[in-house]
Each structure stands twice: as structure tokens, then as C-alpha cells.
């Protein structure tokens, strides 16, 4: 997950700033009304698919209504293998809204249990804490910190209510005396109308998260946009990656199933991680095998795709060397008899069909075509040729670094012999 520089703000290590937009809530007050904001929430806001823009629109309208907001935030949970949820943070002093992603550590320790959000998210309780209330200052360190900066009143409200945990909105003011009863009533009303929008966006995000986790970013995006019909898809040019773990059958025979699962997870974290880091698209895990593509329409065209694929292969070999050399994580290091780990990686270039195949009631989003078959057959040559990485001639022609030609080889199901190449060993630095 890419981190942006949060300056002039700061976030803890388990929170990532992923987007920022400016200019919200900086307009003059008194130019709008609660009725106009309600009409927007019940009408035009329904067509907005970007949560940041939608939340910014709400903040700007609340300010226009004359509500004395100084800072506000929105917090939503999600279903994601690495993330706890998302938040959008606004501050009147700079007019910025930050979209941040929160890792699972955000729910650990007293910094969470002593935050007003804990009461809202875990129990659905509304929290109101005034800056001149000694009990509130002692109970919530965040409120004490805000009071020192001039915040006079702080609200944390549940939004929605499905499931065991709640989404939350916070609002704070500097106005002496805090929010009026009328202010609080308007805010509750607006957030009640805003709640269904939040639920709609959560559902959309969860669907995207799940599809990306199981299908990959590009495939998941296409499915979410409606490519769910069998046969839907498109031809693409790509460098095709096929790899597998050496000695998988022997390892499976010798290691207990739970230990083999640990080993496979670390191996796939290493290999798929290298592909993703270089802009590749991981399509399928097949036992101990991995199928991925580096589309030619990415940065640098065909040459860029080939270079990134080879760089990813080299990173896998370096990672395996580190594991074999004693740098294994604790859960893998405790398992005996798995070293040394090796891999075979084949890189081939060609046109493939990128889309849905399968039965009407059970589809798979993948790539198919003769080029995939060639890549698979070349990977099978790695063991016999004693090479962890093999490239076919179409990929080799795009690589600037020296390669070693290993001759032409007949492949099962392929009419003409295929020339293969191996990268030269990298010099130690």
C-alpha cells in the first residue's frame, strides 16, 4: 500500500495516507440551509461514487449552513485481509480532507480503548466531551489534547448500525460554549441521512476488496464494472509468468499439512509479492504454481514489461536465498526439513485472452491462449536445464542485460522448437 507524505499532518505508523483533496469547508457561512443540504443528500448525492468527494460535499454544506465546525472525521470498517478500515479527516484550518487506511494495529492498546471512537465503534454509544469537563479530559486523552488547541466541544456519533460494530463520525468546534442544542439536532439529522450513503460506499469497497484479493486488481476491477458474462474479456499483449516451487511433491510427503501451508504462504508471499511490486497482475495460484502477466500497455511498453518481469524473477531468487541462508520468519524457521527452497520461473511474450471462462454458474477470470501453454512448457524445462529462470526469444529480444542462449527445445504440444535463454548470474555487490 502506497504511503503519501502526510505533512503538514502526521499519522501513526499503522495508518496510511492514500489521497488528499483541498478546498472543503473554506467557503462563507450562511449561504446555505439544512433544507438544501437534506435535498442534496436525498438527490444529487446519490450519484456520487467517490467517498472523499461525497464527504467533502457534506462538510462544505454544513459549513454553509452556519454550523461552527472546526474539524471532523468519518470512520468506516471494511472486509480486507490487511486493513481494519478507512477514514476521512477534515480540518478547517487547511481545508484538506485526507483519506487514510488503517491497519489492524489501530484497534490495539489503550490509544484505541481510551478514544471516544471505541465507545462508538464497539458499542454504538454517542459520546459528547466538552473541553472544560474534567471527567472527559481524564477519560479521553484525545479530548484533552484537542482542548489544549482550543476545541471547546467534541461529538462522536454512530452512523448506520448493521452488525456488531458501528461506523462513526466525529465533529468538533472552537466556539465558546460548544455546539448549541440546535446544532446537535441538525448534525444528528444530517448524519442520519448520510448513513445510507456510507453503507452504500462500504458495500462497494468491500466488494472491490474481495474481488481484488481473490482475482487481482485488474480482473477484480473488470468484474466489479460488469464483466461477469462467460466469454467477456479482451485480448491483451503481455509477458506471461509461470512459476512453481521445486520439490513440492517431496515436501508435501515429508511435512505435516499445517507446516506445508506455512511454507506455501511464505513462498507465495515472496513470489506474488515480487510480481505485484513490479506492476504485474497475479491471476492464479495452482497448487505450488503461480500464473501472472505483465501487460504490454503499462509503463515502458513491451520493454518495460519484460524488464519488470525479469526484475521480479531476480527478487524471488534473492528472497529464496535469504530464506535458505537462515533469514526465515519464526513460524517457518521452527519447521525442519524444508531447506533448500528453489523455484522455476518462465517468461514468455504473446497475446492472450484476458477474461471469463468456465461454466455458466461458476466462472474464473484468467488468461488463456497458446502463449500461456508455451510459458507453462518452458517452465517445465527449468529443472532439466538446471536454470531457475528461463526466457523465450520474444522476451529475450526486449532485455538489455546479457543473456545466455540455451538452444532450441521441442515442447509438448508446440509445433516448432522454442529458443530459450537464461539470465547471467548477478554479480555480488
Give the chain's domains with CATH numbers: 15-214 (3.30.450.40), 231-423 (3.30.70.1230)
DSSP letter assigned to residue 52: H
| Residue given cell 484479493 in the structure block | 213
Burial grade of 344 (CB within 10 A; 0-12, 13-18, 19 or more): buried
Q: How far apart are CA 121 and CA 199, in angstroms?
A: 14
What is the residue-wise DSSP string for 296-314? Answer: TTSTTHHHHHHHHHHHHHH
**Predicted model pTM:** 0.64
| Residue 190 and residue 58 in contact, taking contact as beta carbons nearer than 8 Å | yes
For residue 2, the model assigns a pLDDT of 58
User: Counting beta carbons within 10 angstroms of the beta carbon of residue 106, is it exposed (0 to 12), middle (13 to 18) or buried (19 or more)?
Assistant: buried
d(CA 168, CA 121): 6
* Cell numbers given for 32: 446555505
pLDDT of residue 227: 61
Answer for the pair 349, 216: CB distance below 8 angstroms, yes or no: no
User: Which H or E run includes 235?
Assistant: strand 233-245
Please state, in angstroms and rounded to a whole number, the distance separating the CA atoms of residues 301 and 414: 27
- Which residues of the chain are under the pLDDT cut of 70? 1-3, 30, 79-82, 161-165, 208-216, 218-231, 363, 427-429
Q: What does the pLDDT read at residue 429?
A: 42
> What does each C-alpha distance from 96 to 23, 173, 266 come to in angstroms?
6, 17, 40
C-alpha–C-alpha distance, residues 155 and 126, integer Å: 8
Residue among 8, 148, 24, 3 nearest 74 (CA): 24
Q: Are strands 153-159 and 127-130 parallel, antiparallel or unpaired?
A: antiparallel
Using CB atoms within 10 Å of the CB of residue 308, give its burial: 0 to 12 exposed, 13 to 18 middle, 19+ buried: buried
What pLDDT was estimated at residue 110?
86
Q: Residue for cell digits 448525492?
A: 45
Question: Residue 188, SS3?
Answer: helix
- Nearest Cα to 288, choosing from 257, 245, 251, 319? 245
Cell 497458446, residue?
A: 370
Supply the pLDDT for residue 404: 95
User: How is residue 203 written as a grid cell?
Assistant: 458495500
- Measured CA to CA, the distance from residue 106 to residue 168 in angstroms comes to 15
The mean of the pLDDT values for the chain is: 89
Strands 167-173 and 418-423, sheet pairing: unpaired
Amino acid at each position: 500500500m502506497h504511503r503519501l507524505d502526510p505533512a503538514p499532518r502526521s499519522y501513526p505508523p499503522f495508518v496510511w495516507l492514500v489521497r488528499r483533496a483541498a478546498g472543503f469547508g473554506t467557503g462563507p457561512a450562511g449561504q446555505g440551509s439544512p433544507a438544501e443540504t437534506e435535498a442534496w443528500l436525498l438527490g444529487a448525492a446519490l450519484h456520487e461514487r467517490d467517498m472523499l468527494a461525497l464527504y467533502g460535499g457534506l462538510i462544505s454544506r454544513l459549513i454553509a449552513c452556519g454550523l461552527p465546525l472546526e474539524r471532523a472525521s468519518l470512520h468506516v470498517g471494511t472486509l480486507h485481509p490487511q486493513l481494519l478500515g478507512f477514514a476521512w479527516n477534515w480540518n478547517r484550518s487547511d481545508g484538506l480532507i485526507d483519506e487514510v487506511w488503517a491497519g489492524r494495529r489501530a484497534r490495539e492498546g489503550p490509544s484505541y480503548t481510551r478514544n471516544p471512537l471505541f465507545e462508538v465503534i464497539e458499542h454504538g454509544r454517542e459520546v459528547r466531551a466538552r473541553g472544560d469537563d474534567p471527567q472527559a479530559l481524564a477519560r479521553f486523552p484525545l479530548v484533552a489534547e484537542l482542548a489544549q488547541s482550543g476545541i471547546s466541544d467534541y461529538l462522536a456519533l454512530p452512523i448506520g448500525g448493521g452488525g456488531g460494530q458501528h461506523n462513526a463520525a466525529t465533529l468538533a468546534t472552537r466556539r465558546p460554549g460548544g455546539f448549541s442544542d440546535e446544532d446537535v439536532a441538525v448534525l444528528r439529522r444530517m448524519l442520519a441521512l448520510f448513513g445510507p450513503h456510507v453503507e452504500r460506499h462500504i458495500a462497494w469497497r468491500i466488494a472491490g476488496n474481495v474481488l481484488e484479493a481473490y482475482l487481482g486488481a485488474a480482473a477484480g476491477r473488470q468484474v466489479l464494472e460488469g464483466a461477469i458474462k462467460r466469454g467477456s474479456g479482451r485480448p491483451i499483449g503481455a509477458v506471461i509468468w509461470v512459476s512453481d516451487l521445486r520439490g513440492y511433491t517431496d515436501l508435501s510427503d515429508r511435512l505435516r499439512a499445517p507446516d506445508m501451508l506455512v511454507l506455501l504462504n511464505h513462498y507465495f508471499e515472496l513470489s506474488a509479492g515480487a510480481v505485484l511490486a513490479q506492476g504485474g497482475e497475479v491471476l492464479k495460484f495452482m497448487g505450488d504454481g503461480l500464473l501472472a502477466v505483465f501487460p504490454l500497455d503499462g509503463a515502458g511498453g513491451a520493454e518495460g514489461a519484460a524488464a519488470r518481469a525479469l526484475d521480479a524473477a531476480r527478487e524471488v531468487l534473492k528472497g529464496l536465498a535469504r530464506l535458505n541462508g537462515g533469514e526465515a520468519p519464526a513460524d517457518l524457521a521452527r519447521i525442519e526439513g524444508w531447506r533448500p527452497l528453489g523455484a522455476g520461473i518462465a517468461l514468455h511474450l504473446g497475446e492472450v485472452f484476458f477474461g471469463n471462462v468456465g461454466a455458466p454458474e461458476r466462472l474464473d477470470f484468467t488468461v488463456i491462449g497458446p502463449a500461456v501453454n508455451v510459458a507453462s512448457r518452458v517452465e517445465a524445462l527449468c529443472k532439466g536445464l538446471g536454470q531457475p529462470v528461463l526466457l523465450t526469444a520474444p522476451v529475450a529480444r526486449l532485455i538489455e542485460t546479457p543473456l545466455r542462449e540455451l538452444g532450441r527445445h521441442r515442447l509438448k504440444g508446440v509445433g516448432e522448437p522454442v529458443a530459450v535463454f537464461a539470465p547471467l548470474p548477478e554479480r555480488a555487490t
